[in-house]
Amino acid sequence: MFPVPGIVAASAFISLFIGIYVQGGRVLKKGALVFLLLFFVYFLITPLVFNVDHKTYIDYFSTFIIYGVCGFIYSSIDFDHKFLYRLAVLFSLVISPVVYLVVFYNFTPSYITDTFGYYMRISHIVSMYLFILFYNSLHDDSKIIRVVSFCLASVFFIFMITFGARSFLLAFVLFFIFFAIKKYKSFNFKFVFIVLVFMFVLYSELYSIMIWFNSLLSDYNVESRSLIRIIYAYENNEDLSSGRYRIWGEGFEGFLNSPIIGNGIASFESKYNYYVHNFILQLLYEGGLILAVPVICVLVKFGLVLFDKNISAVDWFFILMIFFGGVFYLFFSSVIWSGVYIWFFIGWVINYKTGYSSMTKNLTASV
């Protein structure tokens, strides 16, 4: 939000020591420790076995050490969700002036040259806060917190519609679909049938729906940059993936050439001078099945956790928020090694014990 070179890494580095202090010197939980060691060892082996760009490799190793270790440590700590969400309201208030200026005045700092990247970084932050503010506006005990959360969520929502990247907009829609399913306990044939019909209509009439929605936004003087880009691509028969299909093909082809051990971390960038835009394909290309299979297993367990009848509402919402707010975009953008939330997500899912809430502390709620 306030772009200073290295500010995210510096904040995570400080947070790392806070996490170690809170842990009181205790060893990480077994699952998280195994994951951490697996990736750490592969990082150490890469420069000995593979020919990769040294600078890119060092950058990835550095961010993994900071974000990875920090994420795994915090995933092993019990905490009060209610306090965390109220703290998020405070941080939302701090960043709200910037979001407000961007939404209503198209504000961009004069030293920012990549406006698209700037808005994408804000989208990354705002999406997570938006989910928390939405939850607070419905469930917090304090009426003041609920009202403040609702007002902030309204401004953040307008920002996401206007400037949010396509991956974040898709995550936003899917999040609320899952939330509605959980809210109304609609796991039955009738609901599934309605969802399938809805998805078919959405797919077959996507262009018409986008034109209608864009016109609706125009009536309120709101312009969605991502929506306009998609409409333009439709009208000009352009690749809706912005070249990602080709890049994903290159990533999968490279995986097939070395499916077990991969090609080494940072090897894709070393060969093509751009990244693969999908963290699963990145793991398959760089680390083969050795790195990709454990992460895929975590994603499978995550799906099972969401449908675990014994999971508390607080835990359910929390991990859903982490996934769609901090992990989902990695299927389309960025690289896993610089992901801030992915490591916490992996550690949390590994540590979760089916049948009871292992991550919630002194807090009950209902979605």
Q: What is the mean pLDDT of each run of 10 residues along the chain (367 residues)?
A: 67 81 71 88 92 90 89 84 92 88 78 74 84 91 94 91 82 83 64 70 75 81 79 77 87 94 92 92 95 94 86 89 92 88 93 58 40
The tokens describing 38, both together, are: 């697996």
pLDDT digits (tens, 9 = 90+) for 251-275: 999 999 999 999 999 999 999 988 9
In a domain, 67, yes or no: yes
In a domain, 273, yes or no: yes
Count of CB atoms situated within 10 Å of the CB of 244: 18
Residue 309 one-letter amino acid: K
What one-character-per-residue DSSP string does 158-215 give? HHHHHH--HHHHHHHHHHHHHHHHHHHT--SHHHHHHHHHHHHHHHHTHHHHHHHHHH
Structure confidence at residue 77 (pLDDT): 81
Structure confidence at residue 192 (pLDDT): 60
Structure confidence at residue 364 (pLDDT): 39
In a domain, 26, yes or no: yes
In a domain, 360, yes or no: no
Q: How many CA atoms lie within 13 A of 70 on its CB side?
A: 23
Structure confidence at residue 224 (pLDDT): 80
Q: Which of 140, 159, 138 is nearest to 95 (CA)?
A: 159
Q: Supply the DSSP symbol for 329.
A: G
In a domain, 34, yes or no: yes
What's the total number of domains in the chain?
1
Structure confidence at residue 199 (pLDDT): 72
Hey, is 273 helix, strand or coil? Answer: coil
Domain region containing 319: 7-351
**Residue whose structure tokens are 């928390």:** 132
The tokens describing 272, both together, are: 């093509």
Q: In sequence order, what are the beta bridge partners of 360?
A: 79
Hey, is 243 helix, strand or coil? Answer: coil
pLDDT digits (tens, 9 = 90+) for 160-178: 888 887 888 888 888 888 8
Hey, is 289 helix, strand or coil? Answer: helix
Q: How far apart are CA 305 and CA 300, in angstroms?
A: 9
For 132, the enclosing helix (H) or strand (E) is helix 115-139
In a domain, 357, yes or no: no
Count of CB atoms situated within 10 Å of the CB of 340: 21
Structure confidence at residue 27 (pLDDT): 64
Q: How far apart are CA 72 and CA 346, in angstroms?
A: 8
In a domain, 362, yes or no: no
What one-character-per-residue DSSP string does 11-72 give? HHHHHHHHHHHHHTTPPPPHHHHHHHHHHHHHHHHHHHHS---HHHHHHHHHHIIIIIHHHH
Structure confidence at residue 297 (pLDDT): 94
Structure confidence at residue 366 (pLDDT): 38
In a domain, 235, yes or no: yes
The tokens describing 259, both together, are: 């499916």
Instruction: Answer whether 190's CB lies under 8 Å from 331's CB.
Output: no
Instruction: Answer whether 93's CB lies under 8 Å from 75's CB.
Output: no
What is the pTM for the complete model shown? 0.85
